[in-house]
Amino acid sequence: MIDPTSRYATLEVASFTTPQGREVRYLRRRLLPQPRDMQQIGQATVGAGERLDLLAARVLGDPLQYWQLCDANDAMRPNDLVERAGRVLRVPLPRPPG
């Protein structure tokens, strides 16, 4: 079961059957949103040594929502967002996953 606040929560479960008759279930691909299409509610400055989960807890109220910061700032590698203190990040309007 996928947590309802996960970025994968609304993805469709698909399946295929192998030639041996075994059913394999998987989640459909998640398409990344375009940051310019996301509503921005503010900005956050990365502190020295700050971790992304703690930044998400500070600005979004939930450390598990770090993925929303990644989406809003076009980050394919999450830790890139916090590697430089003083970087200003877009803070998106929290949205349902999917």
**Residues 55-90 pLDDT 10s:** 999 999 999 999 999 999 999 999 999 999 999 999
Question: Does position 98 have pLDDT exceeding 70, yes or no?
Answer: no
What is the per-residue pLDDT for 4?
Answer: 85
Q: What is the 3-state secondary structure (H, E, C) of the chain?
A: CCCCCCCCCCCCEEEEECCCCCEEEEECCCCCCCHHHCCEEEEEECCCCCCHHHHHHHHHCCHHHHHHHHHHCCCCCHHHHHCCCCCEEEEECCCCCC
Cβ contact 66:79 at 8 Å? no
Model's pTM, two decimal places? 0.78
Q: Say what the pLDDT of residue 9 is.
A: 84
Higher pLDDT, 84 or 8: 84
pLDDT digits (tens, 9 = 90+) for 29-51: 988 888 888 999 999 999 999 99
Domain ranges of the chain: 13-92
Q: Are 15 and 47 in contact (CB under 8 A)?
A: no
pLDDT for 14 = 96
**pLDDT attached to residue 82:** 96
Q: Which residue type is seen at 17?
A: T
